[in-house]
Structure 1
Amino acid sequence: MPTLRQITSPQGLAQDGALETIQWRNGGQVRLIEQIPVRLAVFDRTTAIIPLDLDVFYNGLLVIRDPAVVKALFRLHHHSWGSGDALPADQGPDLPPAHLVPILVCMRDGLPDRAAAARLGLSARTYARRVSELLSLLGTTSRFRAAITAQRRGWI
């Protein structure tokens, strides 16, 4: 299943309390930037949508399939994602997604990847992909930093 990545602003995050449109609650990834340059969505790097009214999505959407335009919009999203910050721990989800809890336990126990994958009955590739997903969810590429962040969130 593909991972949903969303970028939001502090204002959008504040409004999300009532709307619940930001999908970190359902395992999606979220980054926070000061201001959203343009509202858009990109699907499988082949299709993009932008609102006809740049302030809201509900007044109609423009579906774009031109590869050059979709690539440019994807790069805009990718650049914005790279400049964003992970959600502060007190605004993130209360618990990790259920499929990542066993990964956290194995990491906490200090198991090497092969041993952890064997313990969980996963292939080494699936285990590595889930570790990567967990690191991304915690907003880091470091396992050490991930452990600290997970502990601060009360996950371990």
Structure 2
Amino acid sequence: MFGQVAAGERHHGVIGRRYAATVLHGLGLSDVDESVYRSVLRRRPGSIAELARTLELSRHRVEKAIQHLRALGLLQPGAPGQPPTAADPEIAIPVLLRQRHEQLEDVTTHLPALAAEHRLAAFGDAHHQAVEVIVGSEEIRHRTAALAATANEFLIFDRPPYAYDPSGEVEGELPFLERGVTIRVVYDSTALQDPLRLANVRTLAAHGEQARVLPKVPLKLTIFDQHTAVVPLTREEVSESVALVHESGLLDALLALFETLWSSAPVLDRPHDTAPIPPEDADLLTLLAMGVKDAAVARQLGVSIRTARRRISGIMDRLGATSRFQAGRESERRGWL
């Protein structure tokens, strides 16, 4: 059959055109489907039999393609014995694209369950599903890339040593930020001693990465969509083995650790005033660091609760803090307390 098709392409321009532009495969169309669709789209006259002869296909194959194209909404019924007419592609094709997108999204939501079935089959015991050990740099890259490709959130602990050149960091992460992925990173302060890496982090933060820093981060960690964590099992620059931690009590503990350190870490190098703060703001920070409630703060400062809350909000904005505990830590770092 392949020899016949090849010969036909040499001697008949129709077949050459028939397979020349298969741009609709992504919508589930075969070569024959697209050939029939394009022919009808060009409004070639004649019956189904004539259409089959023109395309050098059997009538059965043409009728089967027409049936499929009608089911997709690309063709509309014609008169009895006559070929169908084409729906407006600017209307029909976007509808199909939305349907395919919804189908792909549905598949994505089932990935965790499918992965759990795979782990169960691989390990044979549900009690050993929580941790999967991946060995080999190529396999590690393959598995982490697959997780990243479908994830909507990355939670990361970043610390040395590194196996890669920092010059490619921005280009590697920007596509995820542009796709709308939420990326929260807690950096170990030693990671930012390299001026190039610090510049990269500032660039990524300007594009939407949420970056914070602590004097020490306990481990390297990446959690995808809060359902799979990647933890290197060695301290070398290139780890030849990692643990994939799936939904379990262990993953819950890693998530809790991330959120605890995230809440206590100051925002990375946010521009701020270096001038001394007014004495009344120093008093306010001291009260906040002591955990004093709003009403007591208002009484101590001799202002209304509304005014106290406004001043608390203002000083937290100035510090780039999202919690009072973080405001206290950032004030200490700046030498305000």
Q: Report the TM-score when normalising by structure 2.
A: 0.26
Q: CA deviation at 1:10?
A: 1.8
Distance 1:16 1:39 in 2: 21
Identity of paired residues, percent? 26
Distance 1:16 1:52 in 2: 28
Q: Please tell me whether the aligned partners of residues 192 and 198 of structure 2 are also in contact (alpha carbons under 8 angstroms).
A: no
- The equivalent of 1:76 in structure 2 is 257
- The equivalent of 1:35 in structure 2 is 216
Q: Please tell me whether the aligned partners of residues 223 and 230 of structure 2 are also in contact (alpha carbons under 8 angstroms).
A: yes
Question: How many residue pairs get matched?
Answer: 98
Distance 2:262 2:189 in 1: 14
Q: Please tell me whether the aligned partners of residues 191 and 197 of structure 2 are also in contact (alpha carbons under 8 angstroms).
A: no
CA distance 1:38–1:86, change in 2 (3 Å): same
Distance 2:200 2:232 in 1: 16
Kindly indicate which of the two structures has a greater share of residues assigned to strand: 1
CA distance 1:56–1:25, change in 2 (3 Å): farther
- The equivalent of 1:126 in structure 2 is none
Q: CA deviation at 1:87?
A: 1.3
Structure 1: runs of 5+ lacking an equivalent: 91-135, 143-156
Amino acid at match of 1:3: T
Structure 2: runs of 5+ lacking an equivalent: 1-179, 272-316, 324-337
Tell me how large the CA RMSD over aligned residues is: 3.1
Distance 1:21 1:63 in 2: 27
Distance 1:20 1:59 in 2: 29
Distance 2:233 2:242 in 1: 5
- The equivalent of 1:145 in structure 2 is none
Amino acid at match of 1:69: L
CA distance 1:56–1:68, change in 2 (3 Å): farther
Distance 1:2 1:18 in 2: 21
Q: What per-residue deviation string (whole Å, max 9, x for no partner) do you get for residues 54-80 of structure 1?
A: 354543321111321111101111111
Kindly indicate which of the two structures has a greater share of residues assigned to helix: 2
Confirm or deny that 1:17 pairs with 2:170: no
Distance 1:76 1:19 in 2: 24
Q: Report the TM-score when normalising by structure 1.
A: 0.51
Distance 1:26 1:42 in 2: 20
Question: Which structure has more RCO (C-alpha within 8 Å, separation ≥ 6)?
Answer: 1
